[in-house]
Structure 1
Amino acid sequence: MKRYSTNIMPFFLTISFFLTNSISIIAQEKENEAKNYDFNKNWKFGGGFGLGIGSGYTDLMIAPSALYQFNPYFSAGIGLQGSYIKSKDRGYYYNSIREYQSWIYGGSLIALSNPIPQLQLSAELEQLRVNNTYTYKDAEKREANFWNTALFLGIGYSSGPVTVGIRYNVLFKEKDMVYGSAYMPFVRMYF
């Protein structure tokens, strides 16, 4: 029996040595993976594009954005927006206005949260420069140039890279003529 126990002791020591070194090597590999983390793979790009054309009406909008996915539940990023609106002879708003033209451009900060994969909560702080030109029927032109701040809080249903939902502008001002309503439906797509 003594002979058996002396032969088995080196075997256990050898196994213990290899297990300890293997665990150490695995831990070092995990540490190296964390150090060599690919920063670029968590970026998502997307945005929106809008086009509205009608009788005497043109509305063109482009809004690219980039998000960084911090974890499966939270991402944040920035966006740009530019739009052009031109409306002719739409007297049902203001009888004396013959033409309305607007250039709107600016940026936004975006935060998205997905508490579950299908539900997306959003907050977007938007700062836009608005340059409106009104041409009246008597050919007089007036300009209204100002900054507009919007804070949108939204909720949407997500399926893959696409989210469909509604957002609410808590800073909405009807007199600014930037948005027609405080509520806005949206479709977001990020890849």
Structure 2
Amino acid sequence: MKKNHHMSILRPFLILTVLFSFHHLSAQQQTITTSPPNNFWNNVQFGGGLGLSFASGYTDITISPSAIYNVNSIVAVGTALQFGYVSAKNDYTSTIYGASLIGLINPIPQIQLSVELEEINVNTDYKYYGVSDSFWNTALYVGAGYRTGNVTIGARFDVLFDENNGYYSDAFMPFVRVYF
């Protein structure tokens, strides 16, 4: 008899627990289905980079418009186009064009880490020899910069750099990156 008495007390408690559980699950499902959709374009920023390098008789100017997609407040991915001009006085001039894939990580708002895979076409005219050369160059940059607002100032390093075979004269390159 005592066993039936415990079951009669437990039964309403179990029924109420199950009902409240389903109500809770139903509320969670409604929250998920009624949340506003993620708008892709709200997470896209446009901007780019500017690279300048000057030495005695040497000029390197690079303009790189780009677009990034902010995955969240820490990670962004994107692509860039690149156009450039290099001149070494009385030696050569080069024009370049190409594209890059970019990954940005902001561990804290003021620091931006970057990885960039770049593929560019290089057209060079050697003044002294009177010959021209055209080739593709691949670079893999890792970089870091100080970020304030929409501007990041920093430096990047080409881990694939080969001084005997490539476009750039140095693996290290400063940059200014701006996104709006």
State the 1:175 CA deviation: 2.8
Contact kept? 2:52, 2:175, Cα under 8 Å? no
Aligned to 2:71, the other structure's residue is in SS state strand
SS in 2 for 1:71: coil
Listed as ranges, the matches of 1:1-191 within 5 Å are 24=27, 28=30, 31-34=33-36, 36-49=37-50, 59-89=60-90, 97=91, 100-136=92-128, 140-176=129-165, 178-191=167-180
- Identity value in percent: 49
Q: Which amino acid aligns with 1:37?
A: N
- In the TM superposition, residue 80 of structure 1 has moved relative to its aligned partner by 0.4
Cα distance in 2, alignment partners of residues 146 and 77 from structure 1? 25
Question: How far does the alpha carbon of each residue in 1:64-89 deviate from its partner, in whole angstroms, 9 at most, with x for none?
Answer: 00000000110000000011234443
CA gap of 1:148–1:141, structure 2 versus 1, over 3 A, is same
Quick one: distance in 2 between partners of 1:175 and 1:65? 30
Distance 1:78 1:101, change over 3 A: same
Q: What TM-score results when the alignment is normalised by the length of structure 1?
A: 0.70
Give SS of 2:169's match.
coil
Instruction: Count how many residue pairs are aligned between Structure 1 and Structure 2.
Output: 156
Number of the residue aligned with 1:93: none
Question: 1:52, 1:73 → 2: CA distance?
Answer: 30
Work out the CA distance in 2 between the residues paired with 1:82 and 1:58.
14
Q: Does structure 1 retain, via aligned residues, the 8 Å contact 2:110–2:148?
A: yes
**Greater relative CO (CA pairs within 8 A, separation 6+):** 2
Distance 1:154 1:104, change over 3 A: same
Separation of aligned partners in 1, 2:172 and 2:56 = 25
Once the two structures are TM-superposed, the CA of residue 49 in structure 1 deviates from its matched residue by: 3.6
Deviation at 1:48, TM superposition (A): 2.3
Q: TM-score, normalised by structure 2?
A: 0.74
CA deviations on 1:9-51 (whole Å, 9 max, x unpaired) are: xxxxxxxxxxx8xx95x974663334x3221100011112456
Q: Which amino acid aligns with 1:118?
A: Q
The AA in structure 1 aligned to 2:177 is R
Letter in 2 for 1:179: Y
Q: State the alpha-carbon separation in 1 of the partners of residues 95 and 115 from structure 2.
A: 24
- 1:175 counterpart SS class: coil
Q: CA, structure 1 residues 161+57, in 2 after alignment: closer, same or farther (shift >3 Å)?
A: same
